[in-house]
Amino acid sequence: MEAPLDPNNTGDQDRLKDRERIAKVLAQCELQYIKGGKVVGSLGAVSRTLEEFIKGRDLVSIDAEFTRALSNVESNPREAVSAASNILESVCKVYIAEERLEAPAKQDLKPVWSIVRKHLGFDPSTIEDQDLQQILSGLISITEGIGALRTHASSAHGAGKTSYKIEPRHARLAVHSAHTVALFILESWRKKKYEP
């Protein structure tokens, strides 16, 4: 699946078709191949849309964290939680850089998220619809929760006196949530930039 291919070589063209066929069969089973020889559960349409954004904008740092999160959910949930937070940090840092906003002194999730959410207008008090207001409040809480979980329970920091027992289901929750938030940021950014 990962060997370099020469597009001018007929045998390599056949191998490329085989790769595409394998990827299609895996997708039908809600699985996907991850670099390094791993087959993991697919995160579904939200992640495919996020993946399209990542590839379309050539966001290498986000793509790397996306792959790290997916490949570690089962085998190393603490690492997957760290990657979930890093996905959001990377999206926020790219946003801040491309919008030429002043970066915060502290570069972890909470400060960069604060700048992005203010710039995009993610303020529940400005929304009239109570249902959307509640969802946006939850989105803010989820993002801050993912950052806190990374700090307290992921592989990013040493453990203190209290040790979290992160299970794959917890990591999956963090990864799914991070993907949803990242996609919402990217879609909101596109709307703000191209649909004033």
138 and 128, same structural domain? yes
* pLDDT mean over 40-53: 59
102 and 5, same structural domain? no
Domain range spanning residue 25?
1-42
Please state the domain count of the chain: 2
65: domain CATH number is: 1.20.120
75 and 117, same structural domain? yes
139 and 79, same structural domain? yes
| Intra-chain end-to-end CA distance of the chain, in Å | 43
- For residue 80, give both structure tokens: 């997957």
61 and 23, same structural domain? no
- For residue 111, give both structure tokens: 């400060």
pLDDT digits (tens, 9 = 90+) for 128-178: 899 999 999 999 999 999 999 988 775 555 555 566 788 999 999 999 899
pLDDT digits (tens, 9 = 90+) for 73-104: 888 999 999 999 998 998 999 899 999 999 99
72: alpha, beta or left, given left = phi > 0 and alpha = psi -120 to 50? alpha
Quick check: pTM over 0.85?
no
pLDDT for position 7? 73
Decide: 78 and 101 in contact? Cβ < 8 Å.
Answer: no
77 and 24, same structural domain? no
Kindly compute the dihedral angle of the four CA atoms of residues 68, 69, 72, 73, in this order, to the nearest 10 degrees.
-170
